[in-house]
Structure 1
């Protein structure tokens, strides 16, 4: 049986010549000196091939975009905007003078780009620099993958793995996207390579330093760094027991290994101090754990669905062209084989296996985990491909008489499959870039040329408008504008209420909105005034059969129209009071869908079914004086609870409720328009909501004085009978407490 040689200082770990498999993949007949990496011609050739592939991607992209550099995703411009702000001295301010925000998904990446901007890489050279930086990172990744593979399993394995990385369509797409994908992949492979180099002495001097860079780049790399840190501690403690090293020295080395943890804690503490949340805005905007209502089993179901998408794509056994067929299965075999046959790499094998699983599980908790061809997990591909090659080698050992044929055949098939998919990925990248140019870039330049220089513009795709238009941008999705991520998840109603909290000098003068996105519902609140222009895509449409191709919505035509509106704020606050003056004094008001007001009143929807999301919306009706009355509401199926304050004890309370009970149809006797009312836990009676096809209706319910014993009173609205329907089904807008 083939065994991997034990490492020694300054040596490769090669497969001994006694194994036919080792000799046949080009490994040497024994351990060889590691040599100097900068004099390794093979590393240069593999890196050069990767660079050539990426450059060809860029050339096709340029040809599709009249020889202008355009990324395939608008998010690249978010990084460029943050980096430009950093380079001009406005650290993490998306708009000059704004509070610090955390819309950049990679802190270290934008710091590097910001440094380049400060050094003079500005103007039209800035985006090409970012894209070329990505191509360089991928070339280094391919070269380092070769060296890592050589160190772990022999030169033949290293060469094959390096070539697969160089010929990977998804990685070339990511490297030329302007995003941090290739930089993350480079740091991941570099982290593993430095670890293997220091493993021989069980003295990890530089691995924690590289892990710090990894931890400050992406949360996924922080997870990997944490797992690898555990492996480092394990090796140090085991070595200390065997050599009886002084425990004080061991403790010092263990504390040094904790560097990435210290860096991560410092980063999250900084975020918490300056923004109020330790989580990045991207996580707040996209995590399943921040939905309006969080149901553990629903989250688990969606996360497992995302995980299945990842595993399906990495397996390569579908019509997807992400990796060669069987890659994931072979990678698992490679991890197991390395663990069994190379005791010196058992810690690494476990760390890689556990790290990949944890990263995939972490990313799976995002609502759009597979966005943009699974870009969050693309950096795992070099590790996957390396261990897949090791898996091919391990599988070849099962065929003693045909070991060489199986080995060479498996590698050749993998290489041919990868190379054959490069044209498709290049075309895909270019068509997506054409969609970004035809829409986001065009719109941004139109804004710059047609809107006043001091205009404030609200958008729901934040990258290009800020970078090109040089206007003040309000990000309705909440990546670059703090405080909007959670309201956006709740729906247009909550988004409208959050806009009301903006100071007047920061309220948008214009809205630039995808017609097909949920934020377009803001128009129901009268915020969209005169339509200035509508942009409709004319760029090439592409096939989105690849994983999450549809998330490149411009090229997939899921967001083909964008309209620019003048903002109208005339109806702001028009729904603050009941339509008719109540008979008494308003002691308190619960503005449903206003997240801040809901929190003040301990408001919550009590759903009749698990999985129901009580999203918010806007409604405008004509008031008694003929003017527009706008209010935000929340869909309720089941019931609600909330607490009124500032009440006068021992005085009758009248609740005025603004409720839309027209769904189901107003004329049908569904029984879903009645709720049971409880006050401080005591049943009071039944409240029949009226149905008005024009919109909401305002009805009242009286709480007897003897139940109002304190200045606060908790109200519960729920079904007339437990467990069985018909359940109340209505939209709640506002409740007033009148005495």
Structure 2
């Protein structure tokens, strides 16, 4: 008869929430606060305004703005678009926008706050698994540096929220396993938050549910599954009722769902050193727990296994993040799990020459060098990336505003244009347009389908990256090029060249007026490398 994992783990006393924070905690938080404040100040100094390191944060912000003001889920009031893969983040933004208005600084503030909260949950987790203060100090600083929390927060997106929710969920599950009679309400809350934070959270279920079932903890398993699946189920029903897919368009178009049966996880791990390092750390952690004497070793082995399996599923089905963000939650969880090596190193040093544990520490330190290099590069690119978004995406939004409320504009990089203007935006990529998303999935996307969609929506202007439209998915030949912008130092934008098009002669006149007004009203910052070149016939007059 198999032993209930919860019985073994119940022997381990848990730290209470009343424990006072020690110096290790305060040092980590002080470094985090200084780092975050410095980062946002440097971004502001470069851009002169609120700017993020990716344009995607404005997609969630647009959905939240429309939801708060009009009660509909989409990028155009009254029209549904399955454009968000983070339902809870969009809802959280909508709540804040409802009370404070759709301010551009809200996503960055929330991302920063949840970065701090991630460190808090990680520290609490390490306390309750017996890590000493020095290990918690080192791992806390490593999470801050290696996740890396600063670049992730600079995106203004949901990834710190995701890391916080999963850290809280696993900590709650750890507490539940140590106290089987405890209320399952906190577990349902964390499962609901994590399940709606990002769909990748569901990757934990294939390992956690069998583990709970093996221990006979069916109520816990049902509570966990119900909480995590509920947001996705509600969205699927709502989306299909409004003509969308059961999954968000971003997953249908960008994910690896079609490659689910290819063996790609290990290949991706070998191609990305920082991911390979995580697998090595998790393997060493599992070995240390397995051979560790006492009840606390194997009792928490399930956490290491769950994080490892989730990492492999992520590599198989999802992507590694644009600007380092999508795998951030895995790095946080893996580093927290690696804190268990502290006890193993302490045991290794007992009765042996001091060089033995020192050598082990040096080997582990060198093993994390790929994470250090990745973190250094990411941090050094923050200001540059934010400058790119300011110089290209935010300026495109300003031109769109000058076209007037209700202007019908098509873009292929949805975000700032839709958030900062009142235009009726058509997303040519398909994230914010179910019809074009379905055309891509059905392989009917192309110049003819784009032309018909522009006509169906009575679109007057197109602002896009021409490099994204290659045969057979060309842009319609009827478009009139009016002006091109070239970003010489592009790091993060989808392309260095943006072209403004009109769909007819009358629209061309309006667009030229808006561009002329823009150049007179908004002078470029000295650091901007955005070169603006009028195209077509410059002699067109009203």
Structure 1-normalised TM-score?
0.60
**Distance (Å, rounded) in 1 between the aligned partners of 2:364 and 2:343:** 9
| Alignment match, 1:185 | 163
Q: Say if 2:151 is the partner of 1:173.
A: yes
Instruction: Give the CA deviation at 1:422.
Output: 6.1
| Alignment match, 2:397 | 444
**Distance (Å, rounded) in 2 between the aligned partners of 1:524 and 1:507:** 16
Instruction: Give the CA deviation at 1:75.
Output: 0.4
Q: How does 1:69-84 map to 2 (within 5 A)?
A: 69-84=50-65
Higher RCO (CA < 8 A, seq sep 6+): 2
Instruction: Give the CA deviation at 1:411.
Output: 7.6
| Alignment match, 2:233 | 265
Q: How does 1:100-499 map to 2 (within 5 A)?
A: 100-122=80-102, 126-156=103-133, 157-168=135-146, 170-203=148-181, 205=184, 206-225=186-205, 227-237=207-217, 252=219, 254-263=221-230, 264-290=232-258, 300=262, 305-310=267-272, 312-315=273-276, 326-341=277-292, 343=295, 346=298, 348-366=300-318, 369-391=319-341, 394=344, 397-398=347-348, 400-402=352-354, 403=356, 405-406=358-359, 424-449=377-402, 451-488=403-440, 494-499=445-450
**Distance (Å, rounded) in 1 between the aligned partners of 2:82 and 2:501:** 28
Once the two structures are superposed, residues 210-263 of structure 1 have per-residue CA deviations (whole angstroms, 9 ceiling, x without a partner) of: 1121111111112225533443343444xxxxxxxxxxxxx6555434322551
Once the two structures are superposed, residues 163-218 of structure 1 have per-residue CA deviations (whole angstroms, 9 ceiling, x without a partner) of: 21123362221122101110101011111111222222224512232112111111
Q: Say if 2:489 is the partner of 1:508.
A: no
Once the two structures are superposed, residues 587-609 of structure 1 have per-residue CA deviations (whole angstroms, 9 ceiling, x without a partner) of: xxxxxxxxxxxxxxxxxxxxxxx
**Distance (Å, rounded) in 2 between the aligned partners of 1:259 and 1:524:** 45
Pair 1:198–1:44, CA change in 2 (3 A): farther
Flag structure 1 segments of 5+ consecutive residues without an equivalent: 13-32, 238-250, 316-325, 543-551, 570-739
**Distance (Å, rounded) in 2 between the aligned partners of 1:331 and 1:514:** 41
**Distance (Å, rounded) in 1 between the aligned partners of 2:234 and 2:421:** 34
Pair 1:308–1:273, CA change in 2 (3 A): farther
Instruction: Give the CA deviation at 1:146.
Output: 1.8
Indicate conservation of the 8 Å contact 1:48/1:139, yes or no: no
**Distance (Å, rounded) in 2 between the aligned partners of 1:374 and 1:424:** 10
Pair 1:439–1:37, CA change in 2 (3 A): farther
SS in 2 for 1:536: strand
**Distance (Å, rounded) in 1 between the aligned partners of 2:10 and 2:107:** 39
Instruction: Give the CA deviation at 1:36.
Output: 1.3
Pair 1:265–1:11, CA change in 2 (3 A): same
SS in 1 for 2:409: strand
Q: Say if 2:59 is the partner of 1:63.
A: no
**Distance (Å, rounded) in 1 between the aligned partners of 2:214 and 2:20:** 32
Indicate conservation of the 8 Å contact 2:401/2:423, yes or no: yes
Pair 1:375–1:9, CA change in 2 (3 A): same
**Distance (Å, rounded) in 2 between the aligned partners of 1:252 and 1:522:** 51
Instruction: Give the CA deviation at 1:161.
Output: 1.7
**Distance (Å, rounded) in 2 between the aligned partners of 1:328 and 1:415:** 11
Instruction: Give the CA deviation at 1:502.
Output: 4.0
Pair 1:195–1:522, CA change in 2 (3 A): closer
Once the two structures are superposed, residues 442-495 of structure 1 have per-residue CA deviations (whole angstroms, 9 ceiling, x without a partner) of: 11111212x24332111110011101232111111111111212434677x623
**Distance (Å, rounded) in 1 between the aligned partners of 2:219 and 2:376:** 52
**Distance (Å, rounded) in 2 between the aligned partners of 1:252 and 1:428:** 47
Indicate conservation of the 8 Å contact 2:63/2:75, yes or no: yes
Indicate conservation of the 8 Å contact 1:171/1:381, yes or no: no
**Distance (Å, rounded) in 1 between the aligned partners of 2:299 and 2:437:** 40
Instruction: Give the CA deviation at 1:562.
Output: 0.5
Higher helix share: 2
Pair 1:38–1:487, CA change in 2 (3 A): farther
Q: Structure 1 stretch 157-166 or stretch 495-504: which is displaced more?
A: 495-504
Structure 2-normalised TM-score?
0.80
Higher strand share: 1
Indicate conservation of the 8 Å contact 2:27/2:137, yes or no: no
**Distance (Å, rounded) in 1 between the aligned partners of 2:105 and 2:329:** 21
Once the two structures are superposed, residues 539-597 of structure 1 have per-residue CA deviations (whole angstroms, 9 ceiling, x without a partner) of: x455xxxxxxxxx346xxxx11100111259xxxxxxxxxxxxxxxxxxxxxxxxxxxx
Largest Rg, 1 or 2 = 1
Pair 1:146–1:288, CA change in 2 (3 A): closer
Instruction: Give the CA deviation at 1:439.
Output: 1.0
| Alignment match, 1:731 | none
**Distance (Å, rounded) in 1 between the aligned partners of 2:440 and 2:210:** 38
Once the two structures are superposed, residues 656-697 of structure 1 have per-residue CA deviations (whole angstroms, 9 ceiling, x without a partner) of: xxxxxxxxxxxxxxxxxxxxxxxxxxxxxxxxxxxxxxxxxx
Q: How does 1:29-68 map to 2 (within 5 A)?
A: 34-36=16-18, 42-66=24-48, 68=49
Instruction: Give the CA deviation at 1:384.
Output: 1.4
